[in-house]
Chains A and B, each alone.
Chain A
């Protein structure tokens, strides 16, 4: 866990330093514009270094039980579950928001072993929420058509 956290901190340091360098040398921002970002990044980098040193020396307190126990099941199953969950993104962009969310819910619930009745009811409720409440009642302009649709 210590090596993972060190990697995370080094990535964070690269992110902060990289953006500061980008601002100073690529975008050529004035010092007035960069003063506060430099201050924020500099201060954070100092604490990052202190934490990395503490991790190397083993003096940093570790987060006990931060990573929950993994349920029984193979790595492949977990990757499949995560991908299934994240499929909501391609679905809304491929089918439009109300339809995409309803189809997503129907598919994921069926894959989770729910009955057709429950899955269809949940999909209909999602359609009612996204189209009925968000679009019609509250006027939120959810994209109804897929992004690839020729307008």
Chain B
């Protein structure tokens, strides 16, 4: 293994590879900043360029761009309240209120640091897990995948800002909206109202842009947003430093969120969109001050950003070790492997361990370079948020239109964005959790599919499988952790109080 690590470093330290990785980081960050263009677009755009390259150069180029897209997406989420892509929506919840409170620099510093460090944790997990992964993943069947998905969706109530009922209603609506269009099991279109656009269902990017960006833009245009306190350039750098420190001084949260991201990334089919929401909800669930979440809490930025970048390490594990792409982005990366004459899977690790390690190093390197680039550029980029609201609103509207269209080259997505925007405005005004709706929307197809497969294959006895039992215990623990923690803290305080009284 040590020889493979040395060989991996040798492959990575080639000048051409380094140069291509740096170039890819810039491309990835640019695509992340533009709404609607996520990691998939980055890979699809860059895939044709790798033909004829050396494997390490070509794959490193693709992977570096894909890895940093969500780091770029954090910028628009925090500075403007517009998620660069679906997974960045979780960062908006606390990142944007921090900008409005004049603490945008802290949020950005925390987001970039947790993205970078989360990516590195993902890589460490990748290198550590590669040799042992095969038996683990082959034990993950449809029941475990179903329970993983359930684990994700139980957090909709936790995401409800001040009322669990509102979180559950929003999550339930998200689940229902995801059921429009072709059913994945029977191929029958559901609820399509004889309208061709609805055959493919409601799309994620118009949903996210409509729920988060449109209400924000309307508030800006109508002057319903409080002025953001002015912050000088020097203070912005100080804030970014504060954000970096806030991340480093929360190692437990950072590592926990990163590991959640890694595990969700490993499970094929669960999809990376889930990881940031689960990490956010888990951070809120276990926080000593859950009421601070949603109002500009730095933990609410660290958790989703760390898991967002860490999940790429997890997704790469299954892609390399088993040839099973852990996410849609990884399936395009798999195409890159085939284009270069390589076939990922168990044989790949036996023959090309050096390349696998080299790619892991690229992942870590790209994450760290992206952090440096974004930190250097963020004081300038945060100035966007200082524009007069009446000027900023139409500029954001232009970005939203471009992002909504570019997602699937579908003009009706632009219309759908504004229709969903009306729902977003209503939900925002009445305090219904929009992230819970997005989480329900993302998880519903997985739950339906894997529940069906599981019941067909195992019946109700799937609950007795060892993996299922472990996950059920984790679900119960996750649900009750907040209450148990508060109970034990209260009990400890009572006990301490009594003790003092006796003395």
Bound pair: A and B? yes
With beta carbons under 8 angstroms apart, the residue of A9, A67, A86, A134 that contacts B402 is A134
Bitwise, A95-139 to B at CB < 8 A (1) or not (0) is 001000100110011001110000000100010011001100011
A14 at interface by CB-CB < 8 Å: no
| Count, A-B residue pairs, CB within 8 A | 160
A108 lies within 8 A of B431 (CB): no
Nearest A residue to B429, CB-CB: A67
Number of interface residues of B (CB under 8 A): 56
With beta carbons under 8 angstroms apart, the residue of A8, A40, A68, A89 that contacts B444 is A40
Chain B contacts of A62 at CB under 8 A?
Answer: 431
Interface of chain B, helix or strand or loop or mixed? helix
Chain A contacts of B426 at CB under 8 A?
Answer: 8
Chain B contacts of A66 at CB under 8 A?
Answer: 428-431
B191 lies within 8 A of A19 (CB): yes
B172 lies within 8 A of A130 (CB): no
Q: Which residues of A1-40 are within 8 A (CB) of B?
A: 1, 4-5, 8-9, 12, 16, 19, 22-23, 27, 29-30, 32-33, 36-37, 40
| B451 shortest CB reach to chain A, Å | 7
B398 lies within 8 A of A44 (CB): no
**Contacts A67-B429, A140-B406 given; does A37 touch B391 at CB 8 Å:** no
A40 lies within 8 A of B172 (CB): yes
**Contacts A92-B414, A105-B398, A112-B391 given; does A142 touch B183 at CB 8 Å:** no
B175 at interface by CB-CB < 8 Å: yes
B166 lies within 8 A of A51 (CB): yes
B398 lies within 8 A of A1 (CB): no
**Contacts A66-B428, A82-B218, A89-B418 given; does A101 touch B172 at CB 8 Å:** no
B430 lies within 8 A of A81 (CB): no
What is the CA–CA distance of A63 and B167 in the complex, to the nearest angstrom?
Answer: 13
A40 lies within 8 A of B175 (CB): yes
A85 lies within 8 A of B176 (CB): no
With beta carbons under 8 angstroms apart, the residue of B179, B225, B226, B405 that contacts A142 is B405
A44 lies within 8 A of B176 (CB): yes
What is the CA–CA distance of A114 and B388 in the complex, to the nearest angstrom?
Answer: 10
With beta carbons under 8 angstroms apart, the residue of A41, A89, A108, A133 that contacts B415 is A89
With beta carbons under 8 angstroms apart, the residue of A85, A142, A143 that contacts B221 is A85
Chain A contacts of B480 at CB under 8 A?
Answer: none
| B134 shortest CB reach to chain A, Å | 33
A58 at interface by CB-CB < 8 Å: no
A36 lies within 8 A of B451 (CB): yes
B217 lies within 8 A of A51 (CB): no
A71 lies within 8 A of B176 (CB): no
A47 lies within 8 A of B172 (CB): yes
What is the CA–CA distance of A108 and B415 in the complex, to the nearest angstrom?
Answer: 19
With beta carbons under 8 angstroms apart, the residue of A73, A122, A134 that contacts B395 is A122
A82 lies within 8 A of B409 (CB): no
A150 at interface by CB-CB < 8 Å: no
What is the CA–CA distance of A4 and B409 in the complex, to the nearest angstrom?
Answer: 37
A63 lies within 8 A of B162 (CB): yes
B391 lies within 8 A of A60 (CB): no
B223 lies within 8 A of A105 (CB): no
Q: Which residues of B150-175 are within 8 A (CB) of A?
A: 161-163, 165-166, 168-169, 172-173, 175
A94 at interface by CB-CB < 8 Å: no
B183 lies within 8 A of A33 (CB): yes
B222 at interface by CB-CB < 8 Å: yes
A78 at interface by CB-CB < 8 Å: yes
B390 lies within 8 A of A112 (CB): yes
Chain A contacts of B343 at CB under 8 A?
Answer: none
B190 lies within 8 A of A12 (CB): no
- Chain A interface residues toward B at CB < 8 A: 1, 4-5, 8-9, 12, 16, 19, 22-23, 27, 29-30, 32-33, 36-37, 40-41, 43-44, 47-48, 50-51, 54, 60-63, 66-71, 73, 78, 81-82, 84-86, 88-89, 92-93, 97, 101, 104-105, 108-109, 112-114, 122, 126, 129-130, 133-134, 138-143, 147
Q: List 24 A-B contacts (CB under 8 A).
A: A37-B190, A37-B191, A44-B172, A51-B165, A61-B162, A62-B431, A63-B429, A66-B428, A66-B431, A68-B225, A70-B223, A70-B224, A71-B222, A71-B224, A85-B218, A88-B394, A88-B397, A89-B418, A101-B401, A101-B402, A104-B398, A112-B388, A126-B398, A140-B406
5 closest A-B pairs by beta carbon, nearest first, are A63-B431, A44-B172, A71-B223, A112-B390, A108-B394
- Chain B interface residues toward A at CB < 8 A: 34, 37, 41, 45, 161-163, 165-166, 168-169, 172-173, 175-176, 179, 183, 186, 188, 190-191, 217-219, 221-226, 388, 390-391, 393-395, 397-398, 401-402, 405-406, 409, 411, 414-415, 418, 426, 428-431, 444, 447-448, 451
Q: 6 additional contacts, CB 8 Å, given A109-B391, A134-B402, A140-B405? A: A37-B190, A40-B175, A54-B165, A78-B222, A112-B394, A140-B409
